[in-house]
Structure 1
Amino acid sequence: MNVKGKVAVVTGSSKGIGLETVKILLEKGMKVAGWSRGATDISHPDFIHFPTDIGSWESVQRSYEQTVAHFKSPVQVLVNNAGLGYTGGIETMPVQEWTEMFNVNVHGIFYTSRLVVPEMKKLDEGHIINISSIAGTNGIEFMSGYCGTKHAVRGISHSMYKELRNFGIKVTCIYPGSVNTNFFDKIDSVTANENMMRPQDIAETIAHVLDSHGNYHHVDIEVRPLRPKGKPTR
């Protein structure tokens, strides 16, 4: 896709992967709307932030309407990056935390995609990128809720790509391993560190996927740090 001048929405834009994705898409000449609960610290003539609770249908609708009105153009790229994770045993995890993960990580992808797809179909072009996790390919003890949401992202993405490919719309699911972001602030058993991938690495992967030939479709991309425990001592 020739992305220059086209409109992109990046969810979870205030930090980490989302923030780095906004930066790289602006560098490529796109017009970008950041949707997140926290402010996105970027000042650029082609960027605007709309406070958004991705787990709320009403909030997502409002941000979509504001985005289209602001740029006077449909959304042609959607990066579903917003997500969060909590740990806990299946019998001890608070119901509120379980529900919040599914609202943001799963329902949010439905809300955003439901809004952008009709115009993408009219344009016969579009790209939706969903950020899952390697937790979406296996199970992890004391992370059943988070793994459940990321398995859902995988299933939704695979169904979407088959449903939308004949309308010229690509759907790509990316499964990162550990990334050095604030995600681990809520995970007591893991501390973010320099052996993890950088958020800009994932953003660069997103940019690469968007640049691909129109008939070349990345469906699944799994990425991991080369040495997650650092270089071994000899």
Structure 2
Amino acid sequence: MTKVQANFLEDSFDLNLVEKFDMNKIACITGASSGIGLATSKALADLGFHLILCGRRRERLEELQQSISLPSYILTFDVRNWTEVEQAFQSLPIEWKNIDVLVNNAGNAHGLAPIQDGALEDWDAMIHGNVNGLLYVSKMVIPEMIRREQGHIINMSSIAGKQTYANGNVYCASKAAVEALSQGMRIDLNPFNIKVSNIAPGAVNTEFSAVRFKGDLPRAASVYQGFTPLEASDIASLIAYMVACPAHVNLADVTILPSAQASATQIKKVL
């Protein structure tokens, strides 16, 4: 049992299910420069994976790379731009092309407004980032998984993909699309022995709210006041468990919430 799994998994799962797997497997993580992506990169490095670290902020990826002892490779691109995605993955050296695990983590929320007041640029950012980005990266990785008839794709959805809430319209729609794509991928890739998992987190204390509220840090901080939210490391521990499960086990769809949260909009706060 590795340290990244201990805090979350010891009391939650039968750890006898976790099997040892071959070293030198490759995991590709999008949005690796911060939050869940960064924590997941460290967790999978602890499991022995070689890592392809993807993001837009190269300096942050280089800092992360320096903190990881196992081999890693940096790809800098915007998941919303097909040309950048295609060129980035085509540039991978041959020894890095056989990706065993893909974590489609990159995504965003922009704004919180009723549909009639939504900004077009916010809508585009969410649809292109949360939906197109997942598709673009997956399209570059899936062919080699099919050729080898093995692989595991983990898509980052949200409780917002399962429960629509007021003023969340387009963000909720984009994450509902991730839910549908996860189901569709699982069906289409089943003949090729490729696992597809979907994770739907509730409130996680990351840069998410700061981005949604366009740098309004006091407003962003208020989202997580009065209760204990999930941390990025909690999601990373779940991902570590998912990829370490035996070949016959797939956690296909997991909703993970802080204990204070009952639904997308109901959180018990003590202020």
- 1:80 maps to 104
SS at match of 1:91: helix
C-alpha distance 72-179 of structure 1, shift in aligned 2 (>3 A): closer
Distance 1:180 1:57 in 2: 30
Aligned residue identity for 1:28? L
- 2:38 maps to 19
- 1:227 maps to 260
Q: 1:217 aligned to 2:259?
A: no
TM-fit CA distance, 1:77 = 0.8
TM-fit CA distance, 1:52 = 1.2
SS at match of 2:198: strand
TM-fit CA distance, 1:219 = 1.1
Which deviates more from structure 2 when the two are superposed, residues 172-181 or residues 32-41? 32-41
Identify unmatched segments of 5+ residues in structure 1: none
Determine if contact 1:136/1:152 at 8 Å carries over to the other structure. yes
SS at match of 1:96: helix
Indicate the percent of aligned positions where both proteins have the same amino acid.
31
- 1:28 maps to 47
- 1:143 maps to 168
Summarize the alignment of residues 31-70 of structure 1 with structure 2, pairs less than 5 Å apart. Answer: 31-38=50-57, 39-40=60-61, 41-42=63-64, 43=66, 44=68, 45-67=70-92, 69=93
Determine if contact 1:138/1:147 at 8 Å carries over to the other structure. yes
Determine if contact 1:195/1:230 at 8 Å carries over to the other structure. no
CA RMSD between the two structures = 1.9
Determine if contact 2:179/2:198 at 8 Å carries over to the other structure. yes
Determine if contact 2:153/2:195 at 8 Å carries over to the other structure. yes
Which deviates more from structure 2 when the two are superposed, residues 84-93 or residues 101-110? 84-93
SS at match of 2:100: strand
TM-score, with length taken from structure 1: 0.92
- 1:7 maps to 26
Aligned residue identity for 2:197? T
Determine if contact 1:3/1:210 at 8 Å carries over to the other structure. no
Match of 2:123 among 88, 91, 98: 98
**Count of aligned residue pairs for this structure pair:** 232
C-alpha distance 230-47 of structure 1, shift in aligned 2 (>3 A): farther
Aligned residue identity for 2:185? M
Identify unmatched segments of 5+ residues in structure 2: 1-18, 214-218, 262-266
TM-score, with length taken from structure 2: 0.80
TM-fit CA distance, 1:197 = 0.2
SS at match of 2:91: helix
Match of 2:240 among 207, 210, 214: 207
